[in-house]
Structure 1
Amino acid sequence: MSYGTLARWERVSPARRPSAARSAPTRPHLVVAAMGCAGGMVMLDQTVVAVALDPVARSLGFTTFAMHAVVLVYSLAMAAFTPVGGMASRRFGLLRTFRCGTAVFMVASGLCGLAPGGDAAEAYLLTARAVQGMGAALMLPVATTLIADVYEERERGRALAVYAGLAQILFVMGPVVGAVLVVFFGWRSVFLVNVPVGALTLWVIGRARVRKEAGSGTLTVGQPLAVILSLGLLVWGLYQCGVWGVTDPRTLTALVMGTLGLALTVRFLLRSPEPLVDLRLLLIRPYAVEVALTFLVQAAQLIVVVHGTLFLRQALHLSLPAIGTALIPLVASLTTGTFLSGYLLDRFRSIRVPVLLGLTAATSGAVACSAALPTGEYRWLVPGMILAGLGMGLPVPALSAEMMRAVPAARRPDASVVRQTFRQLGGAIGLASAGAVVLAINGDAADRAGIVSAGATPGAFVVASCALGVALLLAAVALPKRGATAPPDTP
């Protein structure tokens, strides 16, 4: 075939090309790149937005309540919609669900960056953040499954490690990236930067040539609505404890109705032949213990990242570039712990080693930070930050691996959805609990000004220390004494 003929053939419409050309092989490395971009956006959001919270509050005139809610509604939306992401992937396929989630996240990020000033600012930004969390919930549950589907088993572990590594690198870069963006382009840029990254993700996954699988299953409205309303009411009531007081009738009404609604929702899900999230997996004891530990670690991690960042900015009055540098000991040690976790699990063949070692370090670090905060000196915070970060990084990868071992192979996709749901719910409940304590300690004038006082921040770290302490006690009592968890033969 001559060069001219080949060039003309390349310009022919795809519909007129031979079928062999239309069914080009999948490019697995591009799938990993796309998933890394998506996971990186979500990981980056945790640290970048934390750095931008004070500028956002000052620019839009937010109270402390609204400032916390910028992170809280995002985490809560992720927790509530992660099961919806699992249901959508079964109904429409993994690829369509991932593309939809990326597009929603990208558009919602752009809307966050365009938040207006004035009285409408709070409702507008919180709504956009909730939609952003919905998009993340559609992306994350399918990312690892997509990678697993396009790689052979012998290459799968390395591919998943590369994916996790890309996300972790962006997580570490988050404080510095957030500080640079806010200083040079304003706080809106921390949201707007997701638009080109999201567009790049969609372009890369399109070039990856992933085959579209036929969907199966059904979509229901009742189950998602019940989950969203019950979780939202419970978390809102928990957070309002700091505003109204624990014994206030409004607080008690919200907590009782949220708890009752959640109990009825659980009953609804357990009785459904096609549940939104398969809670019956929690009847497998090792899996249930590992889910509970993941919940508690995520609760503490979000508290430390958000309230630690606010303390550096509002109590120590560090500049934004200085905050980016000051957070490096925390996020770098957290990433180091994440990578060490798998090595320790393989080396000792026991989940107890990385989990107990990590939770001991994390609890000690959180307590050390709680004690150092009243001094108002950054240097005394560094040892606690390193211990807490390293300790919180160690348990989660080992727990993730063992959770997948603890369930039958056929139920692992559902187990992944349950794990992600409880992990994000842990972050939301942890942040709501710490926020309630901070609001109860904080003065009214500080609340109205959107400032967390130096005296209130230790309360948030005490909540994180308690969550890690409970996790350590649970791990010591309930984790298997020897070896790794073996997958059961029956559900």
Structure 2
Amino acid sequence: MVSLDQTVVAVALDPMAHSLGLTTFMMHGVVLVYVLALAAFVPVGGMLARRIGRLTTFRAGAALFAAASGLCALAPSGGAAEPYLVVVRAVQGVGGALMMPVATSVIADVYEERDRGRALAVYAGLAQLFLVLGPIVGAVLTQLLGWRSVFLVNLPVGAACLWMMARARLSNRAQGGALSVVQPLVVILSLVLLVLGLYQCGVWGFTDARALAALAAGSGAVLLAVRLILRSRHPLLDLRLLGIRPYAVAVALTFLVQAPQLILLVHGTVYLRQALGLSLLATGTSLLPLVAASAAGTFLSGYLLDRYRSLRVPVLLGLTAATVGAVAWTAVLPAREYLWQVPGMLLAGVGMGLPVPALSAELMRAVPPEKRPDASVLRQSIRQLGGAVGLAAAGAAALAANEDAADRAGVITVTATSAAFAVACCVLAVTLPLAVATLPRGARTGGRRNAGR
């Protein structure tokens, strides 16, 4: 549910814009503010789970997520639509962020040591799968029931989640203690300043004094937050885990992979709908090569990791395919011929499906068992932040390239889409050599069999 909502609104953005009178700035912002809230509040979810109990935190998150989803469906038209959607989508992201740390904590508890890495990889793979399924689910719902249904569907799903958690009879143990307020506030404000400052560059211009000041303020706030956390006796995030090199490498690569994936999914979906003029269902169907390839890459990832016992195989193979595919897809966007785009979609899909499950499994092997809950919260926070930063940068590039009239009409031109895709290509082009240089060479020494020893 949480992963799906990062991209399920992509197909609904066009009918939403026409129904509510949204600008292009706000169309992109509807997705960005949700992903940003996930990144900023996942550490808070981890803190609450430790202090007041996992089930209490999960129930609060699920209820908040479902309530905010219902409110999104009630968005009014006219001038109130944009601020209203910003607020309720942010609240929806907060609800999702409270659930995510509990999910990985439960998996770590119910599986034995020898199976935990595989279980976490499956969990990450399913999250990846629902992320890419979002536009197709959104297309079906919007075509049959209207764009508001992409939010209303979360009401029964949220109720089902709460019912299943009640039947699971999980422990609700809590460490207790006081809740920190200063650290969460500093982290949230710093990420909001940085990400929204980056996105605003598309309106002001990348060399505008206001844009440079916003980026400087955001960067300074992030450094202040890091310093505050490192000096705390009870840190919100265990940043010292980044001193473990294999873990730090895996987290950094996960951050970089998340960015282009969201860019291609969101902007590619809007391009198919607006530039090619496809119907809602046709847009969803046209995304099948990307989705099917990504699903294949997700499930192939674990096989390659076990077959070759090396993280380099699925990650480097995936990044190579994703880079070539993204460049090929970008190159044919101006032609507006769908069939020419399919090879790039296939390569990009399988390429971006390969790295994340393998990285998720291996990074948990690099940390001591007692540190894995903290390691999972940090990984999730940084992964979601990668998506938020990527969307902000791509959105800024698209806004800068978009025509003013198109922006006011809620239309993203082909030139603007190409600019957003170019950001994804650049990120992948940087990530591939970084992975070549930093990933460990040779076969891993652990594995499922040795993990329980």
Structure-1-length-normalised TM-score: 0.88
The 3 A distance-change label for structure 1 pair 151 and 356 is closer
Aligned residues of 1:112 and 1:128 also touching (Cα < 8 A): yes
Identity of aligned residues (%): 69
The 3 A distance-change label for structure 1 pair 116 and 438 is same
Rounded to whole Å, the distance in 1 between the matches of 2:267 and 2:240 is 35
Match of 2:424 among 464, 471, 484: 464
Rounded to whole Å, the distance in 2 between the matches of 1:165 and 1:237 is 32
**Counterpart for residue 102 of structure 1:** 62
Aligned residues of 1:175 and 1:328 also touching (Cα < 8 A): no
**Counterpart for residue 30 of structure 1:** none
**Counterpart for residue 420 of structure 1:** 380
Unaligned runs of 5+ in 2: 448-453
Q: Secondary structure of 2:36's match? A: helix
Deviations 1:365-413 (A, max 9, x none): 0000110111110101111111001001101111111111112222111
Structure 1 residue 475: Cα displacement:
0.5
Q: Secondary structure of 1:456's match? A: helix
Is 2:366 aligned against 1:406? yes
Is 2:139 aligned against 1:179? yes
Rounded to whole Å, the distance in 1 between the matches of 2:116 and 2:226 is 35
Structure 1 residue 450: Cα displacement:
1.0
Q: What pairs up with 1:79-478 in 2 under 5 angstroms?
A: 79-153=39-113, 163=123, 167=127, 170-171=130-131, 173-478=133-438
> Counterpart amino acid of 1:373?
L
**Counterpart for residue 23 of structure 1:** none
Structure 1 residue 328: Cα displacement:
1.1
Aligned residues of 1:333 and 1:390 also touching (Cα < 8 A): yes
The 3 A distance-change label for structure 1 pair 171 and 236 is closer
Deviations 1:17-60 (A, max 9, x none): xxxxxxxxxxxxxxxxxxxxxxxx12221332111111111111
Rounded to whole Å, the distance in 2 between the matches of 1:169 and 1:435 is 23
Deviations 1:168-222 (A, max 9, x none): 6645653332122112221111001101110111112112222322333431111
The 3 A distance-change label for structure 1 pair 216 and 129 is same
Aligned residues of 1:86 and 1:417 also touching (Cα < 8 A): yes
**Counterpart for residue 42 of structure 1:** 2
Aligned residues of 2:54 and 2:174 also touching (Cα < 8 A): no
Q: Secondary structure of 1:42's match? A: coil
Q: Secondary structure of 1:214's match? A: coil
Rounded to whole Å, the distance in 1 between the matches of 2:436 and 2:73 is 45
Deviations 1:274-323 (A, max 9, x none): 11111111122221111111011000000000000010011001000001
> Counterpart amino acid of 1:411?
K
The 3 A distance-change label for structure 1 pair 169 and 481 is closer
Structure 1 stretch 268-277 or stretch 155-164: which is displaced more?
A: 155-164
Structure 1 residue 485: Cα displacement:
7.0
**Counterpart for residue 450 of structure 2:** none
Is 2:6 aligned against 1:55? no
Aligned residues of 2:117 and 2:365 also touching (Cα < 8 A): no
RMSD of the alignment, in Å? 1.8
Rounded to whole Å, the distance in 2 between the matches of 1:164 and 1:401 is 9
Rounded to whole Å, the distance in 2 between the matches of 1:63 and 1:126 is 13
Structure 1 residue 165: Cα displacement:
6.5
Rounded to whole Å, the distance in 1 between the matches of 2:424 and 2:212 is 24
Rounded to whole Å, the distance in 1 between the matches of 2:167 and 2:178 is 29
> Counterpart amino acid of 1:276?
L
**Counterpart for residue 67 of structure 1:** 27
Aligned residues of 2:128 and 2:353 also touching (Cα < 8 A): no
Structure-2-length-normalised TM-score: 0.95
Q: Secondary structure of 1:115's match? A: coil
The 3 A distance-change label for structure 1 pair 45 and 256 is same
Rounded to whole Å, the distance in 2 between the matches of 1:342 and 1:96 is 33
Q: Secondary structure of 1:91's match? A: helix
Aligned residues of 1:230 and 1:265 also touching (Cα < 8 A): yes
Q: Which has the larger radius of gyration?
A: 1
Rounded to whole Å, the distance in 2 between the matches of 1:196 and 1:163 is 22
